[in-house]
């Protein structure tokens, strides 16, 4: 779709083109947000990241592209680069996506996780506050931790009561396991940065929006180990299961695959972020859950569905034993723990921005696994053949 110059917000006001400093623009969510902004809006993106592979298709190409001149890539590490403040100063809005956000890191690299999600975000918040710039900060659904229901006896009928498991921005508590369960290093760092941003808003008038994504998935998420990421790397579940399917290996179910998640299609979720960007009067000062409460499955059900969908899109029969159980200690190491259940309450985002997710789990897996097959099947085949030959 061509970039439109006469866009109006939800209240009918004309939206003037603005400049967005997007930190972490080279990642999964950033790449989709860049694509959306460049192809459907007149806004300009200052894309900040240490990598740009996932946005190369937007950075390269002829000057005749509709977005030519509206994206600049700045390769910098926000930990230690004095150019950051200048980029924030010359933008109207900063979107901060930069983080270590893969569970395999939370218990094995807790210091890096805490630094990345709290310490490294501090200058971003400070520069926005001091320069009166709006900030959209990416937090996580993990700040809710475990549900209240998970502490009730197994046979308690209250476990079925939504009051004990639906996660609401303004009323749910944040329940983490003990300190030695280092899994919660990420959630805790994200919670503290949320509190800091909230306090900057309350005491210094920072205009902010906090986003809590609930398992956004789709093309370009993470990496396939040994193909476009380290062979021993452990990405998030979509990429782990994709890797197993591509290699015709059983999908590994951690602790029986009993945890539950709601998955939302990245393209639906990006619509929500665009609404936040273009409707500051409705988004400022709010924390938004962004997820799809209708797409709840256990991890085991996800594995079964992905196996069926992959068979359909690849034309290959599934293997005889499609799943295998592994303990969390074996898979993630010491200090792993898990969120039991994650259903977002959608009242606030629905009221403020009129947003609702649309895509069913089956449909989003079909388009995502079609992409995975098209992008990786040949490379995986070659890498397996090479390993057998050597």
Ligand X SMILES: O=c1ccn([C@@H]2O[C@H](COP(=O)(O)OP(=O)(O)O[C@H]3OC[C@@H](O)[C@H](O)[C@H]3O)[C@@H](O)[C@H]2O)c(=O)[nH]1
Q: Evaluate whether 194 touches 118 at the Cβ level (below 8 Å).
A: no
What strands, in cross-sheet order, belong to the sheet with 44-49? 71-75, 44-49, 19-23, 93-96, 134-138, 208-213, 286-290
Q: Evaluate whether 21 touches 94 at the Cβ level (below 8 Å).
A: yes
Q: Applying CB under 6 A, does 72 fall inside the site for ligand NAD?
A: no
Nearer to ligand X, 33 or 46 (CB): 33
How many whole angstroms separate alpha carbon 25 and alpha carbon 356? 24
How many whole angstroms separate alpha carbon 182 and alpha carbon 176? 10
How many whole angstroms separate alpha carbon 270 and alpha carbon 10? 16
Q: Applying CB under 6 A, does 245 fall inside the site for ligand X?
A: no
How many whole angstroms separate alpha carbon 45 and alpha carbon 210? 20
Catalytic residue among 127, 186, 332, 376: 186
Q: Of 144, 58, 130, 49, which Cα lies nearest the Cα of 97? A: 49
Q: Based on the number of CB atoms within 10 Å of its own CB, is 111 exposed (0-12), middle (13-18) or buried (19 or more)?
A: exposed
Total residues contacting ligand NAD by CB under 6 A comes to: 24
Site string for ligand NAD, 122-161 (x = CB under 6 A): ----------------x-xx--------------------
How many whole angstroms separate alpha carbon 348 and alpha carbon 336? 32
Nearer to ligand X, 89 or 168 (CB): 168
How many whole angstroms separate alpha carbon 66 and alpha carbon 72? 14
Is position 371 annotated as part of the catalytic site?
Answer: no
Q: Applying CB under 6 A, does 254 fall inside the site for ligand X?
A: yes
With CB under 6 A as the contact rule, the residue among 98, 101, 121, 210 that binds ligand X is: 101
Q: How far is the CB of 29 from ligand NAD (least distance, A)?
A: 3
Q: How far is the CB of 13 from ligand NAD (least distance, A)?
A: 29
Q: Applying CB under 6 A, does 215 fall inside the site for ligand X?
A: yes
How many whole angstroms separate alpha carbon 342 and alpha carbon 167? 7
Nearer to ligand NAD, 27 or 322 (CB): 27
Q: Applying CB under 6 A, does 338 fall inside the site for ligand X?
A: yes
Phi then psi for 273, rounded to 5 degrees?
-65, -40
How many whole angstroms separate alpha carbon 51 and alpha carbon 45? 16
Q: Applying CB under 6 A, does 257 fall inside the site for ligand X?
A: yes
Q: How far is the CB of 91 from ligand X (least distance, A)?
A: 25
How many whole angstroms separate alpha carbon 248 and alpha carbon 319? 7
- Count of C-beta atoms within a 10 Å radius of residue 374: 12
Part of the chain binding ligand NAD (CB under 6 A), chosen from 43-51, 254-262, 336-344, 345-353: 43-51
Q: Applying CB under 6 A, does 308 fall inside the site for ligand X?
A: no
Q: Applying CB under 6 A, does 280 fall inside the site for ligand NAD?
A: no
With CB under 6 A as the contact rule, the residue among 165, 216, 310, 336 that binds ligand NAD is: 216
Where do we find the tokens 């999600």?
117
**The entry of ligand X, ligand NAD, none that residue 51 binds, CB within 5 to 8 Å by partner kind:** ligand NAD
Site string for ligand X, 120-149 (x = CB under 6 A): --------------------xxx-------
Part of the chain binding ligand X (CB under 6 A), chosen from 1-9, 200-208, 252-260, 357-365: 252-260
Q: How far is the CB of 75 from ligand NAD (least distance, A)?
A: 9
The footprint of ligand X (CB under 6 A) covers 101, 103, 140-142, 215, 236-237, 240, 252-254, 257, 259, 261, 299, 338
Q: Which residues of the chain form contacts with ligand NAD (CB under 6 A)? A: 24, 26-30, 49-51, 77-79, 97-99, 101, 116, 120, 138, 140-141, 213, 215-216
């Amino acid at each position: 779709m061509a970039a439109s110059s006469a866009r109006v917000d939800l209240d009918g006001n004309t939206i003037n083109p603005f400049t967005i400093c997007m930190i972490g623009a080279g990642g999964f969510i950033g790449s989709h947000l860049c694509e959306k902004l460049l192809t459907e809006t007149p806004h300009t993106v200052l894309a900040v990241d240490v990598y740009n592979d996932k946005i190369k298709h937007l950075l390269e190409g002829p000057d005749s592209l509709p977005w030519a001149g509206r994206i600049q890539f700045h390769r910098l590490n926000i930990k230690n680069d004095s150019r950051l403040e200048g980029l924030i100063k010359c933008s109207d809005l900063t979107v901060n996506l930069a983080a270590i956000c893969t569970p395999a890191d939370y218990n094995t690299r807790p210091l890096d996780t805490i630094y990345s999600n709290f310490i490294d975000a501090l200058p971003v918040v400070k520069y926005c506050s001091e320069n009166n710039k709006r900030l959209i900060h990416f937090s996580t659904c993990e700040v809710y931790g475990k549900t209240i229901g998970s502490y009730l006896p197994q046979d308690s009928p209250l476990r079925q009561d939504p009051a004990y498991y639906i996660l609401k921005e303004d009323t749910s508590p944040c329940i983490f396991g003990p300190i030695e369960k280092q899994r919660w290093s990420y959630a805790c760092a994200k919670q503290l940065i949320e509190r800091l941003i909230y306090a900057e808003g309350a005491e210094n008038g920072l205009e902010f929006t906090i986003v809590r994504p609930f398992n956004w998935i789709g093309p370009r998420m993470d990496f396939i180990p040994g193909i476009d990421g380290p062979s021993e790397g452990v990405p998030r579940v979509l990429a782990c299961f994709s890797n197993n399917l591509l290699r015709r290996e059983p999908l590994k179910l951690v602790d029986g695959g009993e945890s539950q998640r709601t998955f939302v299609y990245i393209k639906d979720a990006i619509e929500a972020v665009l609404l936040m960007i273009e409707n500051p009067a409705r988004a400022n000062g709010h924390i938004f859950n962004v997820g799809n409460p209708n797409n709840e499955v256990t991890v085991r059900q996800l594995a079964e569905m992905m196996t069926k969908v992959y068979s359909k899109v690849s034309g290959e029969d599934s293997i005889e034993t499609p799943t295998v159980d592994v303990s969390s200690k074996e898979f993630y190491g010491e200090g792993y723990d898990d969120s039991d259940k994650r259903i977002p309450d959608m009242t606030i985002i629905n009221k403020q921005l009129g947003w609702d997710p649309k895509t069913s789990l089956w449909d989003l897996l079909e388009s995502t696994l079609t992409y995975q097959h098209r992008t990786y099947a040949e490379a995986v085949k070659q890498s397996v053949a090479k390993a057998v030959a050597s």
